[in-house]
Amino acid sequence: QGLLAEPKKIATRTASQLALDAINAALPETIGGSADLTPSNNTLTKGLEDLTPENYGARYIRYGIREFGMSAAMNGLALHGGVIPYGGTFLVFSDYARPAIRLSALQRARVVYVMTHDSIGLGEDGPTHQPVEHVMSLRLIPNLEVWRPCDAVETAEAWGESIARSTGPSLLALSRQNLPQLSGGGAAKGGYRLQAAAAPRKVVLIASGSEVEIAVAVREALEAEGVGADVVSMPCWSRFDAQPRAYRDDVLPDAKPEQILRVSIEAGVTTGWERYTMVDGLRFGIDSYGASGPAPDLFKHFGLTAAAIVPQILSKLKD
């Protein structure tokens, strides 16, 4: 409610810390940590102390540069019961943790993975640190809920759903760069109509995370051309797929491609998005490695801007 009253333009990793401030104060069973990236992951909140041999009652673990060890330890904590563990690292380092993440899902362990620096938006660190295939590959793990929120409100909702989920792990993919507040709520269903077409609807724009802002800009440009476009925010695929068919058909109308064009926008591999765009839709993403440079320059370089996307949509509509 506070975010709705006072919108914030902040990175979703910062929004995650705001959510954790409230969660950790209200739930004494949470126990946090990070694989040597606490200041970057924003996983430490007020009142938490480091767990040490002299302080077993503390609720924060400094795991060191041990992504797999951290994830395996959190599985043990969750399966023992009595605590809800969460731990942070960069999303690109989920590769090191993947076997333990898979076991979280297989064992239905309530673990929350806080994965920050989720795209080329992290900037100058370059392709070694810029996730491209990671979000999509993590979505393939059965019983792992992957959340990629677009703003502070969706981040708070994702945390609420993750803490409440007792049948398996959740993973939050969070931005380094600041993002405008766009949502008024609705993320709990996994996907929802963020903005509806004003002109007769011809396009449905589907995006997650930082690219929802781009989808909103694309919609504005299309509407100026008389082309109606919905914006659908899709923070969690598996949660959306679990919704009733009537809801899913309302958000993504089951129309022929020549009637309604579905377009996906995500700063990662495009493989997999045909699930929602259909074969004849358009998919904008990054099917290569990233590059080093300021985030705005990189989004422009990879064609993830309204200026690059709108002409291709208009051309497709004329085909």
Residues labelled as active-site residues? 67
Q: At 147, give phi and psi (nearest 5°).
A: -110, 130
For residue 26, report the phi and psi dihedrals to the nearest 5 degrees: -95, -25
The full DSSP string for 53-115 is TTBTT--EEE--S-HHHHHHHHHHHHHH-S-EEEEEEEGGGHHHHHHHHHHHHHTT---EEEE
Cβ burial, residue 193 (10 Å; 0-12/13-18/19+): middle
Q: Residues 6 or more apart from 310 whose CB is under 8 A from it? A: 218, 221, 222, 225
Bridge partners of residue 206, in order along the sequence: 232, 264
Please check whether residue 251 is in contact with residue 306, taking contact to mean a CB–CB distance below 8 angstroms: no
Write the DSSP assignment of 116-163 as a string of letters: E--SGGG-TT-TTT--SSHHHHHHTSTT-EEE--SSHHHHHHHHHHHH
Helix, strand, or coil (residue 220): helix
| Cα distance between residue 259 and residue 176, in whole Å | 37
Answer for the pair 173, 143: CB distance below 8 angstroms, yes or no: no
Distance, CA of 244 to chain centre: 22
Packing angle of the helix pair 211-224, 306-318 (nearest 10 deg): 50
Assign 197 to helix, strand or coil.
coil
Instruction: For CA atoms 249, 152, 228, 120, give the dihedral sign.
Output: negative
Compute the distance between CA of residue 291 and CA of residue 278 in angstroms, rounded to an integer: 29
